[in-house]
Chains A and B, each alone.
Chain A
Amino acid sequence: MRLAPPSSNSRWRDVGVTAGAFGLGLLFLALFLLVAGFDVPLALGALWRGAFGSWYALTSATLVRATPLILLGLAFTLGSRGGALNIGMEGQFALGAMAAAWMGTHTGALPGVVALPMVLGAGMAAGALWMAVPVLLRLRFGVTEVISTLLLNFVAEAAVSYAVTGPLQEPSGIYPQSASLTMAARLPKLLPMSRLHLGLLIAFAVAVVMAVVLKRSRWGFELRAVGAGPRVAEVSGRIRAGRLLAVALLISGALAGLGGAVEVSGVSYALYLNLSPGFGFTAIAVALLGRLRPGGVVVAGLLFGALEAGAGGMQRDAAIPAVAVQVVQAVVILTMVVAANSGQRTANGND
């Protein structure tokens, strides 16, 4: 089953499908707002201003929001290219954030060059470890990773809730949040007078590495072969599909954990309940809109970052709940999977 449309011969057709999906999503949002009796021009104006209306909106809202979406979109991409669906990024993000918060409050007087890798490494390790459970369940018991990763999201939520009221709670013991990270454990800012932090460049770097690995390395080739059909891969060569997928899923979990660590170390500086407003699910839309290609995921992540930043503006200026933009995400996902399937049908004939 294809998740993203295959690239056609025409670049322009590809761009058209992607732009069409995003436009259709926005159209649906406008339609629902209209039916619901909201002032649509006011709402869409607030959406635009929240995303691009000022230098601050662009750098401190849009780009800051895009950072975790790109990292998680890449996490989903890696699993999907091998045919495994990681629907548990929300949980891996939370565990990564939790580990980063713990590490970032325990680095003491260590300088940033030491503390930061420790914080981000802790997040990646936690994300991978959280993913180890579904991997084990799949390899040993044949449980599909779709359901297991999904269920673990709720366990992660309970774990964070326990952490911020128990072992990781700030010293005064009043608020359900962790202590603040030491200054050295915080990601440096990229621009003065803005919240934009180094995390965006980390996300770009991960995208570049993933693009090279998928396209040029033997491992990347084998992963794509497994994604095309495990049986084909097993028969045609000496690819061990199970092990390959396990590694891909563990890296996927590590990247989602990195997303959580970057968010704590670059934005919130502490662990909170509900740190993620659903990044783990938005990132699925990001990955599909980016056609499961690292470069595409970066562009789609920036688009959705703008959308989410705009949703904040819409909530402030037009009193429309920010969750409304999930309608856009849903429409984008549905459009892309339908396009994927019809693309396949025109390519291979009907079944």
Chain B
Amino acid sequence: MIELALISGFAAASVRVATPLLLAAIGETITEKSGVLNLGIEGAMLAGALAAAVGAISLGPLGGVAFAVAAGMATSAIFAAVAVGARADQIITGTAVTLGMTGLTGLGARLAFGDAGAGLTIPTLPVLPIPGLAAIPVIGPAFFSQSVMSYVAFAAIAWATWLLFRTRWGLEVRAAGESAAAARAMGVPVTRRRVVATVIGGAFAGLAGATLVLSQVGTFTEKMTAGRGFIAIAIVVLGRWHPIGAGLAALLFGAATALQYTFQASGSAVPYQLFQALPYLLALAVLAVAVGREKGPAGLAK
């Protein structure tokens, strides 16, 4: 029975940790399908995290979620204006947006919470067990006893799959991502599709930031996203630019991160920094294996 409790705990932690990664990766999948690589989602996630903290304090947790989505969209709109609108280098633009948001959120946090920081005064999203299903061993705690953000992420997999592969808009986005010139010749408004796909990606990054603050950490700290946006980009590659693939890849990263907690709890002699580095090392290994096999949208970052 002890083993079962351990496994249940590990599975639940994996899904909990995977949720922000999954949300960000679904958004970035939509963005990359349109031919845009947005390294600024790290910054959008950070902006979402701060906005979630501020919004939750004044309007409650759902207000926080709304603020976060708006902040993520605004951040990505800045990126889209420069990288898609003015057609500047996407990598450098994304790096700059992340850099700028690190500064702005540092400043904003000081302004909103003073020197003492936000503390644990933020109203958070509760865990919502789904009656019946939550009682299933292992699977119940993992998938049916999470915060509402996890359920949103599961639903988003289906929604994004439908959007990209079953709608005319999705077809045009994919065409823009494969070859802007060919898409334009077919009458697809490439720039407009790319901007909207990028801003949708920002909305998801904002949701990811809100998840970090409102259902995981419970507070805002400077640079709290710690590269999760960049890991989400690796997840998109591993997930082969498909929302369902992103879901599976995010679970893998969630599990790699959750290992840390399990090993720390068991008092293992392995230095904890190894587990801290594990998700990033895993991302590198995954890129080496996955990139050669599967190419992304042909027009990505061009």
Q: Which residues of A contact B (CB under 8 A)?
A: 1-3, 32, 36-37, 85, 87, 133, 137, 140-143, 146-148, 150-155, 158-159, 161-162, 166, 278, 281, 284-285, 288, 320-321, 323-327, 329-331, 333-334, 337-338, 340-342
Instruction: Please tell me which stretch of B2-10, B83-91, B169-177, B189-197 contacts chain A, meaning at least 4 of its Cβ atoms lie within 8 angstroms of it.
Output: B83-91
Interchain nearest-CB distance for B297 vs A (Å): 14
Question: Measured between alpha carbons, how far is A166 from B288 in the docked complex, in Å?
Answer: 30
Cβ-defined contact, A154 with B288, below 8 A: no
Cβ-defined contact, B100 with A36, below 8 A: no
> Which 10 A-B pairs have CB atoms at the shortest separation, nearest pair first?
A330-B100, A326-B103, A323-B106, A333-B96, A337-B88, A158-B277, A162-B273, A158-B273, A141-B288, A327-B103
Interchain nearest-CB distance for B93 vs A (Å): 6
A32/B107 contact (C-beta < 8 A), A141-B287, A159-B277, A333-B95 known: yes
Which residues on the A side are within 8 Å of B289 (C-beta)? 141
A323/B103 contact (C-beta < 8 A), A141-B288, A148-B287, A337-B82 known: yes
Cβ-defined contact, B102 with A326, below 8 A: yes
Interchain nearest-CB distance for A282 vs B (Å): 8
Interchain nearest-CB distance for B1 vs A (Å): 35
A159/B104 contact (C-beta < 8 A), A152-B280, A284-B92 known: no
Instruction: Decide if B142 is an interface residue (CB 8 Å cutoff).
Output: no
Partner of B86, one of A281, A327, A338: A338
Question: Measured between alpha carbons, how far is A148 from B93 in the docked complex, in Å?
Answer: 18
Cβ-defined contact, B100 with A158, below 8 A: no
Question: Measured between alpha carbons, how far is A334 from B103 in the docked complex, in Å?
Answer: 15
Interchain nearest-CB distance for A324 vs B (Å): 5
Cβ-defined contact, A330 with B82, below 8 A: no
What are 27 A-B pairs at a CB distance below 8 A?
A36-B107, A36-B111, A141-B288, A141-B291, A151-B231, A154-B227, A155-B280, A166-B271, A281-B99, A284-B92, A284-B96, A285-B99, A320-B107, A323-B106, A324-B103, A324-B107, A325-B103, A327-B100, A327-B104, A327-B107, A330-B101, A333-B93, A334-B82, A334-B93, A337-B88, A340-B88, A341-B88
Interface residues of B in 244-302 (CB under 8 A from A): 271, 273-274, 276-277, 280-281, 283-284, 287-289, 291-292, 302
Interchain nearest-CB distance for A7 vs B (Å): 18
Cβ-defined contact, B277 with A326, below 8 A: no
Which residues on the B side are within 8 Å of A1 (C-beta)? 89, 302
Which residues on the B side are within 8 Å of A142 (C-beta)? 291-292
Instruction: Decide if B226 is an interface residue (CB 8 Å cutoff).
Output: yes
A150/B230 contact (C-beta < 8 A), A141-B292, A333-B95 known: yes
- Dominant secondary structure of chain A at its interface with chain B: helix
Q: Which residue of A lies closest to B110 (CB)?
A: A321
Name the residue in B87, B103, B106, B277 with the highest tally of chain A Cβ atoms < 10 Å from its Cβ: B103
Cβ-defined contact, A342 with B284, below 8 A: no
Q: Which residue of A lies closest to B302 (CB)?
A: A1
Interchain nearest-CB distance for B204 vs A (Å): 19
Cβ-defined contact, A143 with B288, below 8 A: yes
Interchain nearest-CB distance for A67 vs B (Å): 21
Partner of A326, one of B86, B99, B291, B302: B99
Which residues on the B side are within 8 Å of A155 (C-beta)? 277, 280-281
A323/B95 contact (C-beta < 8 A), A137-B284, A155-B280, A334-B88 known: no
Instruction: Decide if B222 is an interface residue (CB 8 Å cutoff).
Output: yes
Cβ-defined contact, A154 with B271, below 8 A: no
Cβ-defined contact, B88 with A338, below 8 A: yes
Cβ-defined contact, B106 with A324, below 8 A: yes
Which residues on the A side are within 8 Å of B291 (C-beta)? 141-143
Question: Measured between alpha carbons, how far is A151 from B287 in the docked complex, in Å?
Answer: 11
Partner of B92, one of A36, A137, A324, A333: A333
Cβ-defined contact, A337 with B103, below 8 A: no
Interchain nearest-CB distance for B56 vs A (Å): 21
Question: Measured between alpha carbons, how far is A155 from B230 in the docked complex, in Å?
Answer: 13
Instruction: Decide if B80 is an interface residue (CB 8 Å cutoff).
Output: no
Instruction: Decide if B149 is an interface residue (CB 8 Å cutoff).
Output: no
Which residues on the B side are within 8 Å of A321 (C-beta)? 106-107, 110
- What would 16 more interface pairs be, CB under 8 Å, given A137-B288, A161-B273? A32-B104, A36-B107, A137-B284, A146-B39, A151-B284, A154-B277, A158-B276, A284-B92, A284-B95, A321-B106, A327-B104, A333-B95, A337-B89, A337-B92, A337-B96, A341-B89
